[in-house]
A and B are shown apart, each in its own frame.
Chain A
């Protein structure tokens, strides 16, 4: 089975966000980068599907700066067979990204495409469904389980507290929700093997974006916390304050 996984290099989720001097981007000082957590889950699932099928390839694609080769090496060390790096010093919005990725995905063997449900920086959850629309294939977003039998996949996702089980004609795009698969840590053997796997770099200029960020702001600071004593009187006063001062309850 051949699977393409789209991944993104993002700032670590434990990052303390500061706004840069331009007023519209993240201050890069001291920021660590990782493969987006949901993309890792998508990759893990792809590796398991390939292995369960007893053959095939997992190709990983990213659009990003030259430094994103680090995340692709991680993907290869986890077990992906090959990587394609669309190298772009500047990237655009979700549609621009999906358009660039679609061209790369078309050139790779794929029975299905997996993406994380969203990158943990822009939080758009848009590239997967856009990619499917551009490729003209079906999409199921937010899947927590996925099985493939021949040319049909069975996917499960949670909607309004219920679980939907869906049968999907392949090829198709799926986006990973937490629960799909827990990503493995690459072992030393994988890290050594990754150095010999193909990592193709393609200079890329993504199509123009229709949206742009004018400003990035931190949420307003919250007022100091008012403490109540851990007693019956204390919690009564707390409930009273919630109703009288905050209008809840």
Chain B
């Protein structure tokens, strides 16, 4: 037991560690290496052996495996109970979740039950003497805060897409962890699959979003076709969601989803502060808009000023040709 160890709370999808879990393991490896500690990964689910080896390959020294039907989907307190058992077993300095739905629901609950510090949606973490120093976005990314967290352990959640998963093979020795669950007060009744299997906006490497410049919902195929050509997820501005053209789940912005893909393509989006807040941390931004003075061009790296009804089909056709080369 070392006061420098990092516990990663990993999630599983279809038997494998989620990309966000590999990102958290990679971040944990760097922290542990700097401090001379170990990375312990917790994986809870039904059939977790393949996921456990994913975690070992990405730098987990050991893996605590919680098996059971009750952990198949992480609802209610199942993941919190498993995490508390893992904290008791590993006595980590830092407990690192991913800022997913399950992570954002569970990490604060664990912090509250342990009475310890919580840093949400961190984009960088470091040990500094007695403290954990973290960077996190505030005001939907209009600013970032340097946060000092004191006490042991510190609980944090890591924002998706800020750390690239890197292989760093460690032993990844798997040991089972028994977790007693209280009677479930949250029960899964139904899972409704999406009509079409789509790339999750917040985890996508490329995002194409449309705005009011499209003119109407009947023109949305322009966005969908470009997204398909680029292998991208698709999103929408608040104006378009409020007008009922697209569902809430596609909204990018301060009151929607915050995305930071490698490439963000804004089509017919003028760039209200509300929208910029949700996407301006994207690594590269491309804007297509007929108004060359639109605020979106103040954050865009590349722009095309022109009629999107002509530019977007051109871009889609050229992208198909370009990517097939």
Contact = CB atoms under 8 A, between A and B. Distances in A.
A222 B301 CA distance: 7
B2 to A, nearest CB: 21
Contacts, number: 279
Contacts of B148: 211-214
Contacts of A238: 286, 302, 304, 315
A60 to B, nearest CB: 20
Interface in A195-236: 210-219, 222-223, 225-232, 234-236
Contacts of B145: 24, 213, 215-217
Contacts of B298: 222, 225
Most buried by A among B150, B191, B302, B311: B302
B219 interface: no
Interface string A124-161: 11111111111001111110100000000010011111
B141 A219 contact: yes
A96 B218 CA distance: 49
Contacts of A33: none
Given A19-B143, A230-B310, A142 B292 contact: no
Interface in B119-175: 119-121, 133, 136-151
A131 B110 CA distance: 11
A219 B281 contact: yes
Interface stretch (A8-16, A64-72, A78-86, A105-113): A8-16
Interface in A146-203: 154, 157-169, 172, 177-179
**Majority SS at the chain B contact face:** mixed
B106 A246 contact: no
Nearest to A141: B105
A249 interface: yes
Interface in B233-276: 247-249, 251, 254-256, 262-263, 272-274
B116 interface: yes
A109 B172 CA distance: 49
A120 interface: yes
Contacts of B16: none
B110 to A, nearest CB: 8
B212 interface: no
B191 A172 contact: no
Nearest to A217: B144
A165 B192 contact: yes
Contacts of A214: 133, 146-148
Contacts of B113: 133
A227 B77 contact: no
A24 B285 CA distance: 28
Contacts of B247: 179
Nearest 5 interchain pairs by C-beta: A230-B306, A210-B117, A126-B108, A133-B112, A124-B120
Given A14-B273, A95-B112, 17 more contacts: A19-B143, A120-B254, A126-B120, A127-B108, A130-B111, A158-B249, A164-B188, A164-B191, A169-B186, A214-B147, A216-B138, A217-B143, A225-B300, A228-B302, A239-B318, A242-B302, A248-B283
